[in-house]
Chain A
Amino acid sequence: MEMAKHSTEVVVAGLKKILISEKGLDQEVQGKVEKLIAELQGTRPPPPPCDPDAQRIEDGFDFFKKNIYDQHPDYFRELAEGQHPRFLVFSCSDSRVSPSVVLNFKPGEAFSGRNIANMVPQFDQLRHTEIGSVIEYAVKALEVKNILVMGHSRCGGIERLMKLPDESVTYDFIDQWVQIGLPAKLKVLAVANDLTFEEQCRLCEKVSVKNSMANLLTYPFVRNAVVSGTLTLRGGYYDFVNGTFEQWKMCTEPMPPMPMPF
């Protein structure tokens, strides 16, 4: 062990000498040498000076490794072999509403899609491959048991939807994306026209979740799994103004049998 430690020290010293003496080293090569030194020493190279954002990321990973990963080696070893989450969760990209934080989802528990206003469009293999691939992988490959669509208060995406059309400013992508929630907006305007704009937005945040839950059923593999009882569709709403959470579940009711033709 002593000899091995000595060898490591010799190598590390040699590498450091190279870094010091070879000022014109290519940045990529320099990074690789620093990485090797870090590995040999079991430490990490210092972050670039005056980069608090880089330091923030490093501190975050440090905390996770020491307090979570290293404390549960068996759990993470198993997880590295494969994931078996029970949930697919759709939540908004909003920095305030990570489901891992709000609902304490641990690594391995929830396959997670995040987009503006947590919307799920109707099945469309040309326009919506991005979100379609998330649903397809979760339902067909991972066989999740639940899909949760989680909305939230003061959603910028919903507010944008409710404000459109807006001649003062246009967005190339956002304005098209939030149209997915148009059925929800129309419902709100039809029955709650007497409410203030803010109240309408709040209502639309919830109605839009239900619209997305209904859109999930347009994916055949989702519909089949729901009907067979292996998949449950759930909605949720996180209100960070009042610190509350509500949830609901889509249930099935029997349909009357189709009359047979004569």
Chain B
Amino acid sequence: MAALAPTSLSKDPLSNGALTRIFGSRVKSLEIQHTQLRLWTCFRSNSGVKLKASAEPPALTREPKSDKQESIMEMGNGCDLFNEMKNNFLSFKKHKYMENLELFQALSKGQAPKFMVIACADSRVCPSNILGFKPGEAFMVRNVANMVPTYESGPSETNAALEFAVNSLEVENILIIGHSCCGGIRALMSMQDEVDSSSFIRSWVIVGKNAKLSTKAAASNLSFDQQCTHCEKESINCSLLNLLTYPWIEEKVKKGELSLHGGYYDFVDCTFEKWTLDYKGSVMEGKNRVVVKNQSFWC
């Protein structure tokens, strides 16, 4: 089978030589765009992780595949996808990168986004698509159900990003975007109230438990679907309040250097609601309830 056409035009010898030294002869040249890694067992000697899988380590007892099967695994299934990604990248390069070369050259030196956006991982709600954020405009975190844990809950992926965005990049806005038909919120509304450590999803969405409680209190007469919709919005407000538990965030909000916003994208009707946290009003409520201002609705 012919080697794939190179997707990289970089002639930088750095990557080639240094990568070869790390991964040995298994690293092929950049022209092939391939690095073969062995699929080894997961029981590393220095790993502190206890696996809960009940399956046997697969490769130890598996019969070796035939040569033909291996070559299919190596090249076959991936060919179309490789080409698709390559074409998409080259299209981006031609129509966006090369046509805005000065902008991209400036961006390559550093970023100064005005926004930090926290959005759901859902494939339908990328803020770059729905709000048209261009390169350089929004520092972004995406997780299940666009949740922000409290400062007290300890280090996590989202609060590392918050720290960088607020203290290093000094963004002026944090925008939390929720959306309709959110699987994470549905999981939260469906689960029992006790923490269930056997599932990552359930262990994570419990961050939104206050939203579930206030939904049950305010909307128990509604159908389950309607309660989920209510909770999708309540959860955004809970996360906005959770942002205020970070001392360096609250300080900047108090000084007027940082604004906190909620947004809700309904992809059934294609509407977008946006609101801003009224800090003084929320403080007067003991930070138990979000008071909002500057509400907008776009349809």
Min C-beta distance of B162 to chain A, whole Å: 7
Tell me whether A174 and B163 are in contact (CB under 8 A).
yes
**B170 contacts partner chain A, Cβ-Cβ < 8 Å:** no
B-side contacts of A27, CB under 8 Å: 278, 281, 291-293, 295
Q: Verify B129–A107 contact, CB threshold 8 A.
A: yes
Min distance, Cβ A227 to any Cβ of chain B, angstroms: 4
Q: Is the CB of B85 within 8 A of A243?
A: no
B19 cross-chain contacts in A, Cβ below 8 A: 203, 206-207
> Is the beta-carbon distance between A61 and B131 smaller than 8 angstroms?
yes
Instruction: Answer yes or no: B224 CB below 8 A from chain A CBs.
Output: no
Q: Is A197 an interface residue (CB 8 A)?
A: no
Contact in complex: A177, B62 (CB < 8 Å): no
Cα(A260)–Cα(B132), bound, Å? 59
Q: Does the CB pair B139–A102 fall under 8 Å?
A: no
The digit string for A47-86, where 1 denotes a CB below 8 A from any CB of B, is: 1100101101111111111001110000010011001011
Stretch of A7-15, A17-25, A212-220 on the interface side: A212-220
- Give which listed residue, A38, A94, A131, A243, contacts B299 with CB less than 8 A: A38
Rounded to whole angstroms, the CA-CA distance of A7 and B252 in the bound complex is 47
Q: Are A207 and B22 in contact, with the CB atoms below 8 A?
A: yes
Considering the chains assembled together, what is the distance between the CA atoms of A107 and B180 in angstroms? Answer: 14
User: With a CB–CB cut-off of 8 A, which chain A residues contact B1?
Assistant: none
Contact between chains at B181 and A95 (CB < 8 Å): no
Q: Which chain B residues numbered 129 to 171 have a C-beta less than 8 Å away from chain A?
A: 129-144, 149, 155-165, 167-168
For B278, the chain A residues whose CB sits under 8 A away are: 27
Of B9, B39, B181, the contact of A227 (CB 8 Å cutoff): B39
- Contact B114–A107 (Cβ < 8 Å): no
> How would residues 30 to 55 of chain B score, 1 for a CB under 8 Å from any chain A CB and 0 otherwise?
10011111111010000101011101
B197 to chain A, nearest CB (A): 6
Most B CB contacts (10 A, CB to CB) among A123, A207, A226 go to A123
Whether B97 contacts A103 by the Cβ 8 Å rule is: no
Partner of A112, one of B88, B142, B200, B203: B142
Asked if residues B268 and A114 are in contact (CB atoms below 8 Å), the reply is no
C-alpha gap A2/B23 in the complex (Å): 75
Verify A242–B89 contact, CB threshold 8 A: no
Report A-chain residues with C-beta under 8 Å of the C-beta of B40.
217, 255
B37 touches A111 (CB 8 A): no
Partner pick for A245 among B8, B121, B184, CB 8 A cutoff: B8
B227 within 8 A of A: no
Partner among A95, A124, A232 whose Cβ is within 8 Å of the Cβ of B139:
A95
**Nearest 3 CB-CB pairs, A to B?**
A31-B295, A220-B53, A60-B132
1/0 per position for B260-299, CB-CB distance to A under 8 A? 0001000110101111101001000000000111111111
Complex Cα–Cα for A192 and B40 (A): 25
Question: Whole-angstrom distance from the CB of A6 to the nearest CB of chain B?
Answer: 22
CB-defined contacts of B168 to chain A, threshold 8 Å: 156
Query: Of all chain A residues, which has the CB nearest B259?
Result: A53
Partner of B73, one of A48, A157, A229, A235: A229
Does the CB pair B123–A110 fall under 8 Å? Answer: yes
Highest count of chain B CB atoms <10 Å: which of A95, A134, A195: A95
- The residue on B at minimum CB distance from A94 is B111
CB distance from A28 to the nearest CB of B (A): 6
Sample 19 A-B pairs with CB under 8 A, ordered by A number: A39-B299, A58-B298, A64-B130, A101-B134, A113-B143, A114-B140, A129-B204, A136-B200, A141-B183, A153-B108, A156-B168, A177-B155, A218-B47, A245-B8, A251-B37, A251-B74, A253-B38, A253-B39, A256-B64
Which of A45, A56, A206, A253 lies at the interface centre, i.e. has the most chain B CB atoms within 10 A of its CB?
A253
- Output the nearest chain A residue to B202 by Cβ-Cβ distance: A133
A64-B132 in contact (CB<8A): yes
B179-198 interface code vs A (CB 8 A; 1 in, 0 out): 01101100000000000011
- Distance in Å from the Cβ of B265 to the closest Cβ of chain A? 8
CA distance A126 to B49 in the complex (A): 10
A213 to chain B, nearest CB (A): 7
Closest chain A residue to B93, Cβ basis: A243
Determine whether the beta carbon of B51 is less than 8 Å from that of A136.
no
User: Which residues of A sit under 8 angstroms from B121, Cβ to Cβ?
Assistant: 111-113, 134, 137-138
Q: Is B219 an interface residue (CB 8 A)?
A: no
A173 touches B296 (CB 8 A): no
Shortest Cβ gap from B226 to chain A (Å): 16
B18 located at the interface, meaning its Cβ lies under 8 Å from any Cβ of chain A in the complex: yes
